[in-house]
Amino acid sequence: MKIIDKYLLQNLFIGFLAAAALLLPLFSTLDLVSELDDIGGDYRLIQAIEVVAMTLPRRMVELGPFIALLGGIAALGQLALTQELNTLRAAGISAARIGLSTVLAGALFAVALAAVDEFAASPLQQKAIQLRTHALASTEGNGKDGSIWGRKDQQFVRVGGLRLGRIPTHIEIFSFDGNQALKEYLFADYADIESEGLWQLHDVTVKRWVEGNETVEHLDQMTWQSVLPETRLQDVALPANSLSSRQLYHYIEFLKGTTQPAAQYEVALWEKLGTLLLTLAMILLAVPFSFSQVRSTGLGSKLALGAITGLLVYLANQIIVNLGILFGLVPMLVGTVPALVMLVFSISLILQLDRKR
């Protein structure tokens, strides 16, 4: 069986490479076309190409289940066309045993995707976002790249954006009393981040309300103890899907510690596990596709049907995730249950092949 396992693994990984070689250039071209609309000023074509190239590992991770399905269908389908799968079954090897070999290939592929996600896709995507943001901000004549919110006790802070990816700008600080009445409002044009969480605020306006009376004070500089996380501030401004598992975990801990909603980031963290499980489910789904009647369904038709199935699974998963966030469902279930359901469904189809034999 070791020889057969190695032979199946070899063919499956060739199938993965073929599927990746087909899908990645296609989706990268679509990404580049979408970037062309924003080209102008300091954001040039060469930068757009660089952004698309840096997001290529993230695209591969996102397409991982799709690659597993199409690569598995291509590899096993070719073996079915040459009657090798039928020979294996005639020799007493069950569809479940062949499925076990595909699971091994899928597990190795999933582990590789997880490593790419953690150590390549996330860092490169973050650099791409920062490159794109800085170029567009310069073109549009402003330094804002999205608001950042923080909270500690009765103090709320809003950072309007990050200049050069590291200098907080347009800072607003709201302080409330025990009756939830606003007692102090502070606005600073920008800040220099110092050690131990201290910020040196510049061009500061402070408004205070005491017994119905308002006072306004203007300061050139002011020291403020930040309530934002000690991690890199630019990480906080990045979208959840661009963060690595470690970044998500630390930011979730910060949000929970400051009683802020963290569901979106928790779902993003569990989705990483869900993607790996979905990859296993899709490679297993390739087995029943391959055992269908070769004469009635050619390899091209199987690949087309697999592509449609993969697209429907992807859309269903995205709908479930967004509905889960909207209705406040348990993040662990939102991120993993769709993949688990698909995994059980794929296993049941393989077991049904053996019962029909």
Q: What is the model's pLDDT at position 254?
A: 81
Name every residue whose Cβ is closer than 8 Å to that of residue 209 and which is 6 or more positions away in sequence. Answer: 181, 182, 183, 184
Burial (CB count within 10 angstroms: exposed 0-12, middle 13-18, buried 19+), residue 7: middle
Q: What is the model's pLDDT at position 48?
A: 94
Cα–Cα distance, 309 to 314 (Å, whole number): 9
> Which CA distances in Å does 321 have to 223, 238, 262, 267?
42, 19, 14, 8
Pick the residue with more confidence: 339 or 90? 339
- Classify 5 as helix, strand or coil: helix
Pick the residue with more confidence: 212 or 94? 94
Pick the residue with more confidence: 303 or 23? 23
Q: What is the model's pLDDT at position 280?
A: 95
Cα–Cα distance, 62 to 242 (Å, whole number): 11
Q: What is the model's pLDDT at position 63?
A: 94
The dihedral over CA atoms of 289, 290, 296, 300, expressed in degrees to the nearest 10, equals 90
Q: What is the model's pLDDT at position 300?
A: 81
Name every residue whose Cβ is closer than 8 Å to that of residue 166 and which is 6 or more positions away in sequence. Answer: 193, 233, 234
| β-bridge pairing 148-152 and 213-225 | unpaired
Q: What is the model's pLDDT at position 200?
A: 94
Burial (CB count within 10 angstroms: exposed 0-12, middle 13-18, buried 19+), residue 108: middle
Contact between 40 and 139 under an 8 Å Cβ cutoff? The reply is yes
Indicate if the alpha-carbon torsion angle 52, 57, 63, 68 is positive or negative. positive
Whether pTM exceeds 0.85? no
Domain ranges for the chain: 2-139+262-356, 148-236
pLDDT confidence bin for 31, thresholds 50/70/90: very high
pLDDT confidence bin for 139, thresholds 50/70/90: very low
Residues 44-85 have pLDDT tens digits of: 999 999 999 999 999 999 999 999 999 999 999 889 888 888
Contact between 145 and 262 under an 8 Å Cβ cutoff? The reply is no
Indicate if the alpha-carbon torsion angle 253, 259, 260, 266 is positive or negative. positive
Q: Is 168 left (phi over 0), alpha (psi -120 to 50) or beta?
A: beta
Contact between 261 and 48 under an 8 Å Cβ cutoff? The reply is no
Contact between 189 and 203 under an 8 Å Cβ cutoff? The reply is yes
